[in-house]
Structure 1
Amino acid sequence: MSGKVRFIDARKSQFYSTVRGRVDDYFKEQKLTKNANMLMYFKTTFFLGGLIFIYCLILSNKFNLLSMFLLSILLGMFTAFVGFNICHDAIHGAYSSKSYVNRALGCVFNILGANAYVWNISHNIIHHTYTNISGHDGDIEIAPGLIRITLEDKICKIQMYQHIYAFLIYGFASLAWVFNKDYQLIHKNNLGGTNFKHPKKEIAKMYFFKAVYYFLFIALPLLVLQLSWWQFIIGFIAMHLVEGWIMGIVFQLAHVVEDSEFPIPNSDGNIEEAWAVHQMRTTANFSKDNVWITWFCGGLNMQIEHHLFPKICHVHYPKISVIVQQTAKEFNVPYLENKTFLGAVRSHYKMLRKFGIEAQESQEEVADQELHNLNLK
């Protein structure tokens, strides 16, 4: 569906105003900032410092091939973790109350091969507004024609096996960003049904930082490392496959699980629901109480809290999640949650299998109808 989608809150839900007020009261009573604290500063040092350290170890030329391969994998992991823990908050404006700090840390996103400007539009504006709405939310358009997760997705015979191959496809998410997706999106004026006029300055910045990334992660390693070109390619692809798989699986577990909904706008282009309630129906948490997953995922395992309060730094999510869950219960609003990471993966697998089987059955029905029509002739 083209055009903007509007949220019509006919029931006049008080859920969001109530939970927002309670969260505001929490920060006032505790005399806390909604932005980064000492824990966040430590995480920033740990992940950004770790990434730079691993990168320097690789360029040092002091390791054998197996060690270089393992370091490449570790570099991919830390790249994803820097994106989750630092850049994501910064681009949302949640890291600091000072815009120049957010811009500076968001610039790290550019150096790592993605683009903060494009991400702000596709993720912050489109995904956070039109979550799980087919034709608008680009984050659920994983691999059109290959992976089907909504009723409106194009049906293809191979999708009957998508629960098997989808997890492999997720690994290519990072490579797609670095070499294809950003270029496509920045030259589109309509994204998710909304028109954008991209400033020439932002287009130039994107090409500049892409060149910086290609130099730092392709040209420079090829110049200084004592590796053949094919050995470098193996390490480079391994780095991106690991980075892409981590990013892909974390995002899918937050929105494509068994109880998450994929609302379809009515004929007028409206969603008959309050925006905040829509977020609660389309977003799920996983491993909320697991401190290690929360540490590495940058709070993205608490997507409910993130979608309701994207400008609050993720280190505060564990505390405010108690408020959100209790308020959701009071207002009879869903609070979707998988208690464990494996439980969330299992739920996502079932969703993939369900939509894959439906695609197969739909094709069989079409084939039977075509055969029936031929027999009638």
Structure 2
Amino acid sequence: MGTLPKPIFEKAPKEDIFKAIKAEVQEFVQKAPGKPRSAIIKAFIFLGIYLISYCCILLLGNDNWALFLFYGLCGLSMFLVFLNGFHDAAHNALFKSTRTNHRFCFILELFGSNSYIWRKRHLLLHHPYPNIAHWDIDVKQSDLARILPSAKWLPVHKYQHIYMWLLYPLYTLNWLYIRDFKDFFGKKDNYLKRVVKIPSSEYLKLFIFKLVNIGFVILVPLFVLQQPWYIIILGWLVMHIIASSFGAIALLSTHVDEEATFPEPDANGQIHNTWFGHQLSVTKDFSTDSKVINYLYGGFSLHVAHHLFPSLSHSYYPAITKIIRKHAKASNLPYKNYPFYQAIRSHYRLLKKNGRENNLFKTGEL
């Protein structure tokens, strides 16, 4: 794993269509310099909903309906802050100042994760190499899910199109209490440690902020409220189930549908596509014409624009998406946009297809 050559994309041709798209996008951005303010306002609105909901847990949580309602709102607003604020800040796209973006990223520590490691995963592995085996860390989440057709097949994968829908609502719990520790301490298939050396201070932060998070979302309500411990734990689980279920739509709808491609570099790391061509072929949009979906999901529903222009605020993406769609239609490029329900259905079909054993004698396919 440590000696794998980095994937290399083909040089763009002189008349690359992406140059025309970039020129049009740059012209639009220059005419609307104040647009990112709406993304900043939205991020703080969702953060405010999270903090108010938490306070309501402590003030009203002796009533079960209020306890579960506000834990649920904490879960929903937590993921909305992640999608609309933290994600932009991780790309230095929320505020003008790099330092301010970096400081805002510490919101992830409030939620119990580690902003340093997430940014490294996202910026050094997922964005440069989406859908490329041994590089895109987001596609290789767990051995329980066989997303890549080249991944090792296990007998349990025959049922992944069923059981994964029971596991996706636990996504944030897996993220906080399994995946983070795998990134820091795992030795098998640790993509991250191939590209970064984790500072010692981050190991300390990993434990401190997980304890801080558990302290204020579980222990403080236990001390303040007259509720049995198992009701508090159930409310905490509701928070994570709602956050995970809402986030699953964004995470499943943008790269891993039944028509997804997973290009493999040759022995020298060469990818037989340009960077632009690769990003367009492995990234999908969903519900781009829905103002509600775009408002809630930020740069995730308009994901092609995000992968092509990650350093721009997602407030620009509706207009940028129209530019991309115009050029894609004119040049017959592989741009795809699904309604979110169709994207989810397509992911189900991918799980079912890749859950089959790759045995020609059993499948009868040559």
Determine if the TM-score, normalized by the shorter chain, exceeds 0.5.
yes
Q: 1:122 to 1:140 in 2, by over 3 A?
A: same
Consecutive unaligned residues in structure 1, runs of 5 or more? 367-377
Alpha-carbon distance, 1:17 to partner: 2.8
AA at the equivalent of 1:291: K
AA at the equivalent of 1:212: V
Q: Measure, in 1, the Cα distance between the counterparts of 2:67 and 2:49.
A: 16
- Residue of structure 2 in register with 1:230 after alignment: 230
AA at the equivalent of 2:203: I
AA at the equivalent of 2:164: A
Q: 1:116 to 1:177 in 2, by over 3 A?
A: same
Alpha-carbon distance, 1:151 to partner: 1.3
Q: 1:62 to 1:183 in 2, by over 3 A?
A: closer
Query: 62-71 vs 259-268, which deviates more?
Result: 62-71
Q: Deviations over 1:10-49 (max 9, x none)?
A: 5637133332222111112x2425x722x22331232111
- Residue of structure 2 in register with 1:297 after alignment: 297
3-state DSSP class of the match of 1:138? coil
CA contact (8 A) 2:10 2:270 kept: no
Q: Measure, in 2, the Cα distance between the counterparts of 1:174 and 1:111.
A: 14
AA at the equivalent of 2:359: S
AA at the equivalent of 2:269: G
Q: Deviations over 1:73-119 (max 9, x none)?
A: 22111111111111111111110110222122111111111211011
**What pairs with 1:1-377 in structure 2 (closer than 5 Å)?**
3-9=4-10, 12=13, 14-28=16-30, 30-33=31-34, 36-37=36-37, 39-144=38-143, 146-187=144-185, 191=191, 194-338=194-338, 340-356=339-355, 358-359=356-357, 362=359, 365=362
Q: Measure, in 1, the Cα distance between the counterparts of 2:125 and 2:231.
A: 39
AA at the equivalent of 1:217: V
AA at the equivalent of 2:46: F
CA contact (8 A) 1:72 1:236 kept: yes
CA contact (8 A) 1:93 1:102 kept: yes
Identical-pair percentage: 31
3-state DSSP class of the match of 1:172? helix
Q: 1:344 to 1:220 in 2, by over 3 A?
A: same
CA contact (8 A) 2:46 2:80 kept: yes
3-state DSSP class of the match of 2:337? strand
Query: 329-338 vs 89-98, which deviates more?
Result: 329-338
AA at the equivalent of 1:8: F
Query: 264-273 vs 76-85, which deviates more?
Result: 264-273
Alpha-carbon distance, 1:210 to partner: 2.2
AA at the equivalent of 1:150: L
3-state DSSP class of the match of 2:182? helix
Q: Measure, in 2, the Cα distance between the counterparts of 1:273 and 1:44.
A: 36
Alpha-carbon distance, 1:62 to partner: 4.9
CA contact (8 A) 1:4 1:194 kept: no
CA contact (8 A) 1:328 1:335 kept: yes
Q: 1:235 to 1:312 in 2, by over 3 A?
A: same
Q: 1:192 to 1:265 in 2, by over 3 A?
A: farther
Q: Deviations over 1:223-281 (max 9, x none)?
A: 21222121111111121122122223311111111332111111222211111211111
Q: 1:150 to 1:251 in 2, by over 3 A?
A: same
Q: Measure, in 2, the Cα distance between the counterparts of 1:50 and 1:263.
A: 41
Per the normalisation by structure 2, the TM-score is: 0.91
Alpha-carbon distance, 1:188 to partner: 5.8
Q: Measure, in 2, the Cα distance between the counterparts of 1:192 and 1:203.
A: 14
Alpha-carbon distance, 1:221 to partner: 1.8
AA at the equivalent of 2:114: N
Query: 180-189 vs 58-67, which deviates more?
Result: 180-189
Q: Measure, in 2, the Cα distance between the counterparts of 1:192 and 1:276.
A: 24
Q: 1:137 to 1:44 in 2, by over 3 A?
A: same
- Residue of structure 2 in register with 1:373 after alignment: none
CA contact (8 A) 2:40 2:94 kept: no
Consecutive unaligned residues in structure 2, runs of 5 or more? none
The two structures, once aligned, show a CA RMSD in angstroms of 2.2
